Amino acid sequence: MAKFAKRIDYMQATADVVRYLFESMTDPETISFGGGAPAREALPVEIVHEIADEVLTREKRGVQALQYGNPIGIPDLRQAVIDRLLTPMGLKAGLENVIIVAGGIESMNLVSQLYLEPGDVVLVESPTFVHTVQIFKMFEARCIACETDDHGLVIEDVEAKIRQYSPKMIYVIPTFQNPSGRTMSLERRKALAELGSQYDIVILEDDPYCEMRYSGDRLPPVKYFDETGNTVFVNSFSKIFSPGSRLGYAFADEEIVRKIYDAKTATNSHTNVLTQILCAEFFNRGLFEPHLKMICDIHRERRNVMMDCIQSMLPEGVKYVYPDGGLFTWVELPGQVDTTAMLGDAVAQKVAYMPGREFFVEGQPVRDNCMRVSFGGVMPEKIPVGMERLAKVIRSKLYRTRS
């Protein structure tokens, strides 16, 4: 059988864990804090049904929905992105600055197509999003982690690593970060944009959780402070509309958008038109804002229940992040508990989480005693049940570690 390309070997290791988690999520008895899915109760099934029923006729948008589309996306969805998402963040965009893609992951894939050569260095947060690291590995880039604290990337460490590694790109999830749930401060957002401009580095800003804020004040994105076009802002509709629709967008300087257009054409021609129409109508009928409020109410409750459980159920010495939004908290266990080794026991007890090890790369210490705990996809009454199971598994490990 013909040999696979090197990039396929590089990306192998993590993919197995991702597949394992996908599989554990299919057992209905398992309470999974492992995935990154939002609440199924927050999915706009009735809204999509009503819009689909209305637009899927030959007189309305049925033919457009089923025929080939333009690689850049349909104009009304791009305009909705500008009016309803970018403008409220203080970002100034024209239609030529926005391209629709098939989800947040695809936006990262396309920006990597644009910039990354084998051996290029990408600076990332520590911890960082495992799926994006997989993409960078597929492009044979070297990921170097920078130090983070409760206010996000430590800018001094980023600058030191810029000097040491001459990176091509810096990848950041500034708001309710995946996996840590942390949010980068205003000052650091500004400083990061300035570093991108000063050293001519691409800042890939991935902000899929920014609309899902349950407490605290909204912050402008890194892109807001970009004066040279070095920051590429990408986002997903997965959390505010629907993950299964695979919709996202990139906002960047026109020249960059034109190159993304070329890479998109050679990746899959264009994004599914029907769901672009459904999503555009969702915005343009004024349904987004009330739906977002409902989403935030649902997830705020889950966040609150989860944080209560963590405080009351997990053994003493456990550290955690209190997230102001998004879907995740980040739990650091005491002692030398290896959360990767523990996952099998947890799945046997019908509870799952994402082991921390997967989120660490070269440049910062791997912390095997951490885990990403997602509260988004679990009903509030099930969170205590799952956390009780998880606490039991953790206690048994702590006991064994200490004895």
Binders in 150-209 for its own copies, by CB under 8 A: 168-169, 200-202
Residue in 103, 152, 325, 386 binding its own copies, rule: CB under 8 A: 103
- 292 is a site residue for its own copies (CB under 8 A): no
Looking up tokens 């899915």 gives 37
Q: Strand locations in 8-74, DSSP E?
A: 31-32
Give the sheet arrangement for strand 370-374, strand by strand.
319-320, 328-332, 370-374, 354-355
- 285 is a site residue for its own copies (CB under 8 A): no
Both structure tokens of 213: 């804020």
- 119 is a site residue for its own copies (CB under 8 A): no
Residue in 30, 33, 34, 65 binding its own copies, rule: CB under 8 A: 65
- Candidates 131, 121, 120, 175; CA nearest to 153 is 175
Closest distance of CB 69 from its own copies, Å: 6
Closest distance of CB 328 from its own copies, Å: 15
Taking the least distance from each CB to its own copies, the nearer of 124 and 393 is 124
Residue in 28, 92, 117, 402 binding its own copies, rule: CB under 8 A: 117
Taking the least distance from each CB to its own copies, the nearer of 267 and 401 is 267
Closest distance of CB 359 from its own copies, Å: 16
Euclidean distance between CA atoms 207 and 313, whole angstroms:
31
> Strand 328-332 relative to strand 31-32: parallel, antiparallel, unpaired?
unpaired
Distance of CA 358 to the CA centre of its chain: 15
Residue in 30, 34, 35, 100 binding its own copies, rule: CB under 8 A: 35
Instruction: Select the span of 92-100, 114-122, 302-310, 345-353 touching its own copies (CB under 8 A).
Output: 114-122
- 37 is a site residue for its own copies (CB under 8 A): yes
Both structure tokens of 256: 């960059």
Closest distance of CB 362 from its own copies, Å: 19
State the number of binding residues for its own copies (CB under 8 A): 86
- 379 is a site residue for its own copies (CB under 8 A): no
Instruction: Select the span of 13-21, 84-92, 310-318, 328-336 touching its own copies (CB under 8 A).
Output: 13-21
DSSP structural state of residue 81 = I
Cα–Cα distances in angstroms (integers) from residue 27 to residues 34, 77, 199, 375, in the given order: 13, 36, 48, 18
Euclidean distance between CA atoms 353 and 349, whole angstroms:
12
Say if residues 167 and 201 touch (Cβ distance below 8 Å).
yes
Q: Tell me the H-state helices in 269-330.
A: 273-284, 288-313
> Strand 121-125 relative to strand 354-355: parallel, antiparallel, unpaired?
unpaired
Instruction: Indicate the length of the chain as a whole number.
Output: 403
Taking the least distance from each CB to its own copies, the nearer of 248 and 356 is 248
Closest distance of CB 248 from its own copies, Å: 9
- 28 is a site residue for its own copies (CB under 8 A): no
Taking the least distance from each CB to its own copies, the nearer of 10 and 214 is 10
Instruction: Select the span of 64-72, 87-95, 143-151, 309-317 touching its own copies (CB under 8 A).
Output: 64-72
Query: Before 221, cis peptide (omega within 30)?
Result: no
By CB under 8 A, the residues from 213 to 272 that bind its own copies are 228-230, 238, 242-246, 253, 255-256, 259, 261-263, 265-272
- 4 is a site residue for its own copies (CB under 8 A): yes
- Candidates 360, 333, 340; CA nearest to 130 is 360
- Candidates 129, 123, 88; CA nearest to 219 is 88
Closest distance of CB 338 from its own copies, Å: 25
